[in-house]
Structure 1
Amino acid sequence: MSTVHLHRRTTATPEQYVAGRTDFGPARSKLFANSSDAYLKLHHRTGSHADVTEGSGGIWERLHYDWSDPARVVLTTIDSNVWGGASGHIYTFTRRPDGTTDVDVVVIREGKNLMGRLLGFVLGTIGGGVLEKAFENSVRAIEARNSNAGRPDPGISDLAA
């Protein structure tokens, strides 16, 4: 089993990050590159819980999302072609006095077959940088999404002229 800890400070509020993390729309891959639209399936969603299948590159997992605690989002793997056991992700948000947010992520990967055990080993040794880069890209994408919120779409203003 591999456990990877990630940390970033962001200009996004916890609410904005949770909104991005729990946006299961067709453009999800713009926020999370490891969640290809081809794999995305929302099975069920209530106010603060969702059952979602997502993945990319031949690896998929069905996750139970729980964002009932405003300072935390827990993703629990309930099925996957490579991950099992205690696999999942925990996002924790801490508001800072300067208006920024610390986002801490714990990624737990327990392989359920040979491929999963090999991938887990790689992630736990030399592959943590891949997760770090993907996380950094998602933080930037969520910041950009929120900095563009409320701005008029240039294409729409061109039509009005």
Structure 2
Amino acid sequence: MEKTTATPEQVLAALTDFGPGRSEVFGNSADEYLTVHGQGAAWADVTEGSGGIWERLRYDWSNPRRVVMTTTDSNIWGGRSGHTYTLRAQPDGTTVLDVVVVREGKNLKGRLTGIVLGSVGKSVLRKALKNTLRAIEARNTVTG
């Protein structure tokens, strides 16, 4: 769980912006991996990744306070892998963000990466989330 000065709408806009420069907000989404296969008003089918790891995700934000990203293909993730972001507006105008990440390795590299992320990698993931939220805040301070 993390708190940000960005509104839920600003966080949702960043999560669902698949344009160039996505890597400036999401460090694990390098522009050269980014492919939008399809997109609608409240969904997207996107491949993204970095550092030799990629996954194709089905984004669903039909509930604008909950973004569900289901892994549909990946070079290392399978099973129930994906991400769920729940955005809770606070009375002071901030947002509390709950993130659940499920990682099921579909091969040896995936299983080993999952073990690392489930243990010592948690602090790396937490830092990456904080960096993402700071980037969203900065973007909204400049443009908002």
- Which structure 2 residues correspond to residues 1-150 of structure 1 after superposition, within 5 A? 7-150=1-144
Code of the residue aligned with 2:127 in structure 1: it is K
Code of the residue aligned with 2:9 in structure 1: it is E
Q: How high is the TM-score relative to the length of structure 2?
A: 0.98
Q: Which runs of 5+ in 1 are unaligned?
A: 1-6, 151-161
Q: Which runs of 5+ in 2 are unaligned?
A: none
Moved over 6 A (4+): none
Give aligned pairs, total: 144
- TM-superposed CA distance for 1:130, in Å, is 1.1
- Choose 1 or 2 for highest CA Rg: 1
Code of the residue aligned with 2:99 in structure 1: it is V
Using the alignment, how far apart are the partners of 1:97 and 1:18 within structure 2?
Answer: 18
Code of the residue aligned with 2:24 in structure 1: it is K
Identical pairs, percent: 65
- TM-superposed CA distance for 1:90, in Å, is 0.3
Cα deviation digits, residues 17-58 of structure 1 (max 9, x gap): 010011001100000010000100000000010000000000
Counterpart of 1:26 in 2: which secondary structure? coil
- TM-superposed CA distance for 1:125, in Å, is 1.1
